[in-house]
Amino acid sequence: MADAQRKMTNGRTRVEFETDPSRYRHWKLTVDGDVATLLMDVDEKGSLFEGYELKLNSYDLGVDIELADAIERLRFEHPQVRVVLLRSGKPRVFCAGANIRMLAGSTHAHKVNFCKFTNETRNGLEDASAASDLKTICVISGTAAGGGYELALATDHIMLVDDGSSAVSLPELPLLAVLPGTGGLTRVTDKRKVRRDLADVFCTTEEGVKGKRAVDWRLVDEVVPGSKLDATVAQRAKEFAARSQRPTDAKGIKLEPLKRTRTASGADYSTLSVALADRLATITVRGPEALPPASADAMVEQGAQFWPLRLARELNDAILDLRLNELDTAAIIFKSAGDPEQVVAYDRFLDSNEAHWLAREIRALWKRVLKRVDLTSRTLVALIEPGSCFAGTLAELAFATDRSYMLIGTREGDNNPPASLMLADVNFGPYPMSNGLSRLASRFLADSADLDRAKAEASKPLHAERAAALGLVTFALDDIDWGDEVRVFLEERASFSPDGLTGLEANLRFGGPETMESKIFARLTAWQNWIFQRPNAVGEEGALRRYGSGQKPNYDTKRV
Amino acid sequence: MADAQRKMTNGRTRVEFETDPSRYRHWKLTVDGDVATLLMDVDEKGSLFEGYELKLNSYDLGVDIELADAIERLRFEHPQVRVVLLRSGKPRVFCAGANIRMLAGSTHAHKVNFCKFTNETRNGLEDASAASDLKTICVISGTAAGGGYELALATDHIMLVDDGSSAVSLPELPLLAVLPGTGGLTRVTDKRKVRRDLADVFCTTEEGVKGKRAVDWRLVDEVVPGSKLDATVAQRAKEFAARSQRPTDAKGIKLEPLKRTRTASGADYSTLSVALADRLATITVRGPEALPPASADAMVEQGAQFWPLRLARELNDAILDLRLNELDTAAIIFKSAGDPEQVVAYDRFLDSNEAHWLAREIRALWKRVLKRVDLTSRTLVALIEPGSCFAGTLAELAFATDRSYMLIGTREGDNNPPASLMLADVNFGPYPMSNGLSRLASRFLADSADLDRAKAEASKPLHAERAAALGLVTFALDDIDWGDEVRVFLEERASFSPDGLTGLEANLRFGGPETMESKIFARLTAWQNWIFQRPNAVGEEGALRRYGSGQKPNYDTKRV
């Protein structure tokens, strides 16, 4: 079932997530006043792995990394942009979806990680609209098939050319025996609200749906004759721009390259370090070294060096690096070092500038990075020790973990002050998980009085026993017990089935309500992961392997 | 991966779902006034398949079929019972959960079907409480491990003996590398609302939790010293009985054995027939032959022969039979024959007697049977033809399908009247799907005006073109197109990957909100099904296969 690792192109051995428009091979980003255009023009030869060509604007992870980067840059570097047009640079095709040969030859782990990242990118498109009023319009001339249509589904407005051949389709099931798993099924039912039986017809019709029927079935927002396309697109862009509240006079900041040094056992960034050992990754985040700037203008001046933004970007990169490149890691351990008051001072600074576009973008970025942490299939642990600064935004890292251990008092020969947690307003709303609840609200599902009790303690340093009594940490331990307890836990964790833990954590982390987003990562993704294991898809005679071979797949006809 | 079918015991070749207390091998049902006791005392030698013994009150599907039957009988045969005590007939063990050797040796399909049925049984326990005020108390003396504790989780009140050894546990992950998949994880987070980090500790601790900690962590409702157990149980039973609104003076009806004849190509029941051919199962339900009874008393007099009850029980059996015994069936086609007005007359009869305990039980049974249809992993199709009676309750079958085809007008040489759909009050609330919405509300998620428009047409015969215009059917076809269209669709459907369809349908059928119940069948079950394919669980060196062998499992340590 193709579980041997594929070779990367150009001698690469790791997936890298940093890029910038000057290095894009697959997208062209142009900005014209308040309208940006993202032109998809995939370089056939620009694949991330060997063994396939990216024909017909099909994509692999490398293509999506560029898209994710472009959306981030539009948010930070071009705050005046109000509308993004997604278009194809190729004739007769918008996008053919995920590259099938790439999928067929990928390991199971890569398929799953690929889907997760691309889903996060599409959620990011929607977040740009919801949180930043950066509206997206998808202009489909030609075919938008599978992942191509799923990309369209993540935009605010889908325009389809009415030329007798341009169509949208989700042919994954009939062609490949897999699901439209990049949010496709969920967005069809829950965002576009296509009637379930019409959705069934649509998802089993290889050639898809075109013209007026696509509008009637709610698959696209409008069809436009080819002759009127450019005028109508310009008109729509104008309308959406007029409705956007993005600032008109803001000057963006430059998202400079991250400062990262790979070390023998991990990596050092400017605000955090990653240490790998014994199948554990320890991420130590460092609190700010200086007070927050005096004004919003000063924050803009600091740009990408502004501590909360720098840390968010570096943490994002570190998490993605572990996800894709360190599969053998059983657990991610979060530690922190710094002054809790300083961390909270930055949170207060952002609170008091919440109307400022950059403060809003930074908060929204943190929200997305924290969601990525939630969705990372590694055991997450917080070790809260003397000298740490799990306060405000950084306390969210502790609340994102499966378990937290907090040391009572100080350690002999250690000058650091006793560990404390410190809550701030930011812990009670601005960073919802994919289930729509804050991490503390998810934690205290049983009794909202627990949440109120925690809220009443905001801004106070909460030492271990108090934090445990409030239910904010799992265990408060003194120095005598600490070493053995933590070691035994981590050893035990590493001894469990990695798959079992993935399933366990995917369930326990997301109690309570579900949203479209959480449905995508649970219902849809979990079924897709199941199918990605089934011989009917990935076996030697399965559809994914036989696609394009001229041989029909041979299915086990038993329904499970 | 053990995908060879296991041999059944006692020469059986099919799983049978009908039983009655006189035939139980694993449970003893006793009734004492308003309190019933369900004593679990599993017969080690009474397994459904060969190759394992049901030690320590462990269970297989056969044990659960008896439990499901007992709950149904309590609802219909013993309406005066207000409280059910679940207890163990064995010393030092309440229930050890699903039998591990059974699981290890089962086909993937059987594992999935086993989990689905047992989940439905546990949901049925909760439905007995919610819909019929039949309260359940679980008395745990000894260990309640895995599925044993999951059974407890489905009850209204969990009592644990405080004897220093009795404990509740979910050891699936550490012991077997699978999930507590019979609702366990979801009920821990969403029903008991155990804090997520404590849930993590609980689910990774083989020996479980006992005594006061079990109460503090919300895992049980109370711990009781052994010396006071019987008195406290009696007291709780009394309290719960006092709060129940079940009737005090009602006399139950006897759930007589179903009338079923297996035929060469299916089965005949008194109200429906099943015809199997070409990987299709056609279920034709027949409308009532007589007017509804004149009074509620007359309904009680008819008992299990009362048409709606008879049909619900027979349909339930037919669906389960197809699910477990006809794995090769690609699609279930619903047809009906009878007078729509008569069907709706029965619905009106039940509406006007909605306060009567038996009418309420019949509606609740239909609700559960329809949910079972929704959750059946076969393509569901309705063919709505002249002479059919998809009206009221039976129209729900059409709305449960993935697609419906309705014939316009009549057929040459066919005296039957043109097909009509007929809506009634029952289509707008009493039969919620597991997402909490009625099938029509799920259908018309996009615009509630569509739902209102349908409602305004209640009680009118809606012919094909009108039904299609209202969005109630997928396609309205005339006789010329019908044959080819339907044939091509069914052939195409049978040509698709059965696994792909399972995943597709599990997503498209459940748009909109999620509930604890839908989370169990989507998030939890989908992850469990994935894990049930992973070598770390089911491979030769996986935990499920190596359990009890003295050999440790050998895991692929990569996280996916």
Q: Tens digits of per-residue pLDDT, B408-457?
A: 999 999 999 999 999 999 999 999 999 999 999 999 999 999 999 999 99
Average pLDDT over residues A167-187: 96
Q: Which residue has the tokens 């009781």?
A: B224
Coil/strand/helix, residue B315:
helix
> In terms of C-beta density within 10 A (0-12 exposed, 13-18 middle, 19 or more buried), how is residue B428 classed?
middle
Q: How confident is the model at residue B381 (pLDDT cuts 50, 70, 90)?
A: very high
Could you give the CA distance from residue A371 to residue B190 in angstroms, rounded to a whole number? 20
Rounded Cα distance, A345 and A339, in Å: 10
pLDDT reading at B1 higher than 80: no
Q: What is the model's pLDDT at position A4?
A: 57
In angstroms, what separates the C-alpha of A495 from chain B's closest C-alpha?
8
Q: Do B501 and A559 touch (CB under 8 A)?
A: yes
Taken in order B494, B496, B500, B505, the sign of the CA dihedral is negative
- CB-CB: which of A190, A218, A330 is closest to B512? A190
CB A119 within 8 A of CB A518: no
Q: For the packed helices A196-203 and B498-508, what is the interaxial angle rounded to 10 degrees?
A: 150
Give the CA radius of gyration of chain B: 24
- Residue B78: CB partners within 8 Å, gap ≥ 6? B31, B36, B252
Cβ contact, residue pair B177, A519, below 8 Å: no
Averaged pLDDT, B217-235 = 98
pLDDT band at A389 (very low <50, low <70, confident <90, very high): very high
Segment (H or E) for A113: helix A108-132
Min Cα–Cα distance to chain B from A116, Å: 11
Residue in B189, B328, B503 nearest the CB of A530: B503
Whether A48 shows a pLDDT value over 90: the answer reads yes
Cβ-based contacts of B153 with chain A (< 8 Å)? none
Preferred mutation among B108, B190, B196, B332 to probe A, highest tally of A CBs within 10 A = B196
Burial A336-370 (b: 16+ CB within 10 A, else e): bbbbbebbbbbbbbbbebeebbbbbbbbbbbbbbb
pLDDT computed for residue B6 by the predictor: 82
Using DSSP's 3-state secondary structure scheme, residue A32 falls into: strand
Query: Cα separations (Å) of B102 from A160, A260, B106, B118, B524?
Result: 54, 52, 6, 14, 21
Q: For the segment A223-245, what is each residue's pLDDT rounded down to a tens digit?
A: 999 999 999 999 999 999 999 99
Residue range B109-163, pLDDT digits in tens = 999 999 999 999 999 999 999 999 999 999 999 999 999 999 999 999 999 999 9
Interchain contact, A502 vs B197, CB within 8 Å: no
Nearest CB neighbour to A527, from listed B204, B327, B526: B526
Please indicate if any CB of chain A lies within 8 Å of the CB of B4: no
B496 contacts A173? CB cut-off 8 A: yes
Pick the residue from chain B with its C-alpha nearest to A217.
B446
Chain B, window 434-463: residues with a beta carbon less than 8 angstroms from a chain A beta carbon = 442-447
pLDDT band of residue A6 (cuts 50, 70, 90) is: confident
Half-sphere exposure of B45 (CA within 13 A, CB side): 1
Q: Residue A40's pLDDT is what? A: 98
Secondary structure in 3-state letters for A336-364: EECCHHHHHHHHHHHHHCCCCHHHHHHHH
Tens of pLDDT, residues A186-221: 999 999 999 999 999 999 999 999 999 999 999 999
**Per-chain mean pLDDT for chain B:** 96
**Mean pLDDT value of segment B212-240:** 98
The owner of tokens 């997520």 is B196
Phi, psi values for residue B68, rounded to 5°: -60, -40
Task: Report yes or no: B477 and B485 within 8 Å, Cβ to Cβ.
Answer: yes
Q: Chain B: give the shortest CA distance to residue A353, in Å.
A: 33
Rg for chain A, CA atoms, rounded: 24
Question: Min CA distance, B130 vs chain A (Å)?
Answer: 20
DSSP B335-392: EEES-HHHHHHHHHHHHHTTTSHHHHHHHHHHHHHHHHHHT-SSEEEEEE-TT---BT
Is it the case that residue A327 has pLDDT exceeding 60? Answer: yes
For B535, name the nearest residue in chain A, comparing CA atoms only. Answer: A499
| Angstroms from B144 CA to nearest CA on chain A | 20
**Contact criterion met (CB below 8 Å) for B71 and B238:** no
Closest CA to A219 of A281, A160, A291, A288: A160
Do residues B538 and B106 touch, judged by C-beta distance below 8 A?
no
Mean pLDDT of chain A: 96
Give which of A385, A358, A555 is closest to A483, Cα–Cα: A385
The distance of Cα A100 from the centroid of its chain, to the nearest Å, equals 22
B305: amino acid identity, one letter = Q
What pLDDT sits at residue A460? 97
- Contact status of A491 with chain B (Cβ, < 8 Å): no
Separation CA A252–CA B450 (nearest Å): 46
Handedness of CA A112, A281, A440, A506 (dihedral sign): positive
Q: What are phi and psi of A334, to 5 degrees?
A: -95, 125
CA atoms within 13 A on the CB side of A204: 27
**Token representation of residue A532:** 């990605």
Q: Smallest Cβ distance to B500: which of A177, A329, A402?
A: A177
Predicted confidence band of residue B4 (pLDDT cuts 50, 70, 90): low
Task: Check if A501 contacts B (Cβ < 8 Å).
Answer: yes
> Cβ contact (<8 Å) for B497 and A179?
no
